[in-house]
Chain A
């Protein structure tokens, strides 16, 4: 293990840290904000990818769970003096619990039926968000007052937008690592068996219900963390940000980006937030991105089942192989 950390992984870690440090220095203020959102939604896309790539399950409630994480962070921000990171974790845990509850139908359903059930759950959460709104410093359980929103605390070392982007990238890198560890540990092996055949997995002693629930909880946790990070970025949340239909878009972009590698989640986040911002900046209607996303989804389904990230990684592998051959 120690040998692996000191080798390839050490270089990866160094590159990641360098990107985290440099990126806010290279971007203008507008793009710091846009990239922050894109990175946050990359994390949420990872949650979608886990369920699809590891278990073949379609979860269309991810954006609603982002809202849950954001709601918890805002509520704790106004009700307590807890540090941002603690509130962030609490938001992740609550979203994980709700995600695990969503797993109950997943034990018996797959495919379109599960997708519909999760979409309906997202719709229910959307109605709750609209009816009760997000905490803004008011009294009572819902914490909503008919007034302007109060201040949202950010981490001590991440007060500026640039520093907050670094914090977000660090949190997302840690979460990617956690997901990676799952893939190569017992849950990953169990998920692989379940994906092949639930009956065989059960026969092999895999607790199917537990591992499915665990996957949904992990996916929910990532969404909840995303929501907390989004609340810190925007300093407030609005029910209109968490419409159920956006979960379908996030799922589609996760497929376009590639569900089988963390790079795919980053591409999904960039497509989800960076491309519309680019269009807006060029004075083109951001709605046109939906047309592009539709074409990209068709392309992914027909020719690139591993998404853009799969194509990029295959290209790199091919290039490396050619270089090895030419060296030999």
Chain B
């Protein structure tokens, strides 16, 4: 009987969080705004087609990356474009539907002939379209990826860390600072998402001589009460919320209803980190929820962060989410734009753009803990160092600044970084 109210409350909470005003307080106008050539004149040349795919449907919204990329490209187009050529950004929603993901991927890559994809965020699209991207020689600079395919393919590079490094980062903190001994990784029963990430969580715990348990749920029938009871039955001391923001907040509400805050140490990867979450979580969780963030704090003073806020404020749509994935979409679009500006505008095509993206090495941003790079490799994970914040008084307080993780999953990534001369 509790199942339906739980689902409804989770959805209501997410909807509420999305509707809340979300522009961080540091935005002080447009003085921080900087896009592309900064000419102040609109680009009028032949458009360059760029695609983006997000997954925005129950049980999660991953549109932050494409929203921010769209805002940045609008800003670039209003400021001279790519040496006079505007970017025509075409965004499709796969609605968490693999069949639709395949259709919209084919539409963008084959029918529209996009030169690249930027800002992608989805749980299904990359799995369905990875082969298409490789076959068609198109690169995807993703921003809100949550599945293994985003990090294990030559033609996909994601600016966000994904659940694996962010989750392990959260666990590392929990072990070192909170004394966690046995953690439950709660995720969706999707092999390349929750299954993949939680499997590596358990390996990480084992590597530390500790215990990890996976509690995976059906994404089509989210029963948060039973998941919470399962965690209780497992006898764990730590809960890792390996979930999109909606279900993660829903589970926290279930725990609140049952007075479960002090029974566990609560840690989460980045999805739950956004300005409006304080209005949903309230005081109950203040000082008790630790979140690993994949990019900088949304209210930090770095130039790129301030630019992200200024661009989103001026060019974004009402209701655009200002979360980590939005930051990630913004910085992906910026790196992409910077790479294109080095090309002869008359010779911009898919091949030259793919090559330009692969040439991105050792670029830096205050949004990231380490340098960003792509290179020519069979897999990419340029961002694997994050920060830890504590939910407090409706906001977040940094409790550990940039730190990297130690997992054998990164062995091939570290070898790449060594070859490219990148030091994280």
Q: Which chain B positions have C-beta within 8 A of A28? A: 107, 110-111
Q: A-facing mask of B95-139, CB < 8 A → 1, else 0?
A: 111111011101101110000000000001001101100000000
State whether B152 touches A240 (Cβ < 8 A).
no
Which residues in window 167-195 of B have CB below 8 A to A?
189-192, 195
Q: Taking CB as reference atom, which chain A residue is nearest B196?
A: A146
Known: A151-B131, A235-B131, A238-B124. A29 touches B199 (CB 8 A): no
Q: Does A234 interact with chain B (Cβ within 8 Å)? A: yes
State whether A33 touches B103 (Cβ < 8 A).
yes
Q: Does A20 interact with chain B (Cβ within 8 Å)? A: no
Q: Does A148 interact with chain B (Cβ within 8 Å)? A: yes
* Other-chain residue from A30, A147, A277, A286 in contact with B191 (beta carbon distance below 8 A): A147
State whether A136 touches B191 (Cβ < 8 A).
yes
Q: Does A213 interact with chain B (Cβ within 8 Å)? A: no
Known: A37-B99, A238-B98, A241-B99. A147 touches B107 (CB 8 A): no
Q: How far is the CA of A235 from the CA of B147 in the complex (A)?
A: 17
State whether B220 touches A239 (Cβ < 8 A).
yes
State whether B199 touches A146 (Cβ < 8 A).
yes
Q: Which chain B positions have C-beta within 8 A of A30? A: 103-104, 106-107, 110-111
State whether A148 touches B149 (Cβ < 8 A).
yes
State whether B100 touches A280 (Cβ < 8 A).
yes
Q: Which chain B positions have C-beta within 8 A of A241? A: 97-99
Q: How far is the CA of A240 from the CA of B193 in the complex (A)?
A: 14
Q: Which chain A positions have C-beta within 8 A of B128? A: 234-236
Q: Does B148 interact with chain A (Cβ within 8 Å)? A: yes
Q: Does A34 interact with chain B (Cβ within 8 Å)? A: yes
Q: Does B235 interact with chain A (Cβ within 8 Å)? A: no
Q: Which chain A positions have C-beta within 8 A of B97? A: 240-241
Q: A-facing mask of B211-242, CB < 8 A → 1, else 0?
A: 00000001111000000000000000000000
Q: Is the interface of B mostly helix, strand, loop or mixed?
A: helix
Q: Does A149 interact with chain B (Cβ within 8 Å)? A: yes
State whether A236 touches B98 (Cβ < 8 A).
yes
Q: Taking CB as reference atom, which chain A residue is nearest B124?
A: A238
The minimal Cβ–Cβ distance linking A139 to chain B, given in whole angstroms, is 13
The minimal Cβ–Cβ distance linking A143 to chain B, given in whole angstroms, is 10
Q: Does A145 interact with chain B (Cβ within 8 Å)? A: yes
Q: Which chain A positions have C-beta within 8 A of B107? A: 28-30, 281
State whether A146 touches B103 (Cβ < 8 A).
no
Q: Taking CB as reference atom, which chain A residue is nearest B199?
A: A146
Q: Does A85 interact with chain B (Cβ within 8 Å)? A: no
Known: A148-B148, A236-B127, A238-B98. A161 touches B106 (CB 8 A): yes
State whether B131 touches A29 (Cβ < 8 A).
no
Size category of the A interface is 20 to 34
Q: Which chain B positions have C-beta within 8 A of A236? A: 98, 127-128
Which residues in window 168-182 of A have CB below 8 A to B?
none
State whether A33 touches B147 (Cβ < 8 A).
no
Q: How far is the CA of A147 from the CA of B196 in the complex (A)?
A: 6
Q: How far is the CA of A29 from the CA of B198 in the complex (A)?
A: 36
State whether B192 touches A148 (Cβ < 8 A).
yes
Q: Does A100 interact with chain B (Cβ within 8 Å)? A: no
Q: Taking CB as reference atom, which chain B residue is nearest A160?
A: B135
Q: How far is the CA of A55 from the CA of B395 in the complex (A)?
A: 64
Q: Taking CB as reference atom, which chain A residue is nearest B151?
A: A148
* Other-chain residue from B131, B192, B220 in contact with A130 (beta carbon distance below 8 A): B220
Known: A234-B99, A238-B124, A240-B219. A147 touches B111 (CB 8 A): no
Q: Does A243 interact with chain B (Cβ within 8 Å)? A: yes
Q: A-facing mask of B38-59, CB < 8 A → 1, else 0?
A: 0000000000000000000000
Which residues in window 46-100 of B have CB below 8 A to A?
95-100
The minimal Cβ–Cβ distance linking A271 to chain B, given in whole angstroms, is 15
Q: How far is the CA of A130 from the CA of B216 in the complex (A)?
A: 10
Known: A161-B106, A236-B98. A131 touches B191 (CB 8 A): no
Known: A148-B149, A148-B152. A243 touches B220 (CB 8 A): yes
Q: A-facing mask of B139-169, CB < 8 A → 1, else 0?
A: 0000000011100110000000000000000
State whether B99 touches A133 (Cβ < 8 A).
no
Q: Which chain B positions have C-beta within 8 A of A233? A: 102
Which residues in window 102-155 of A have CB below 8 A to B?
130-131, 133, 136, 138, 144-149, 151
Q: Which chain B positions have C-beta within 8 A of A239? A: 218, 220
State whether B102 touches A33 (Cβ < 8 A).
yes
Q: How far is the CA of A130 from the CA of B218 in the complex (A)?
A: 6
State whether A147 touches B189 (Cβ < 8 A).
no
State whether B102 touches A148 (Cβ < 8 A).
no
Q: B-facing mask of A15-55, CB < 8 A → 1, else 0?
A: 00000000000001110111001000000000000000000
State whether A148 touches B189 (Cβ < 8 A).
no
- Between A and B, 16 residue pairs with Cβ closer than 8 Å are A28-B111, A29-B106, A29-B111, A33-B102, A130-B221, A131-B189, A131-B218, A133-B195, A138-B191, A148-B196, A236-B128, A239-B220, A241-B98, A241-B99, A280-B103, A280-B104
Chain A: residues with CB nearer than 8 A to chain B?
A: 28-30, 32-34, 37, 130-131, 133, 136, 138, 144-149, 151, 161, 233-241, 243, 277, 280-281, 286
4 shortest interchain CB distances as A-B pairs: A29-B110, A146-B195, A30-B107, A146-B199
Known: A28-B107, A144-B191, A146-B196. 20 other contacts (CB 8 A): A28-B111, A29-B106, A30-B103, A30-B111, A33-B102, A33-B103, A130-B218, A133-B191, A133-B195, A138-B191, A148-B196, A149-B192, A234-B128, A236-B127, A240-B98, A240-B219, A241-B98, A241-B99, A277-B100, A280-B104
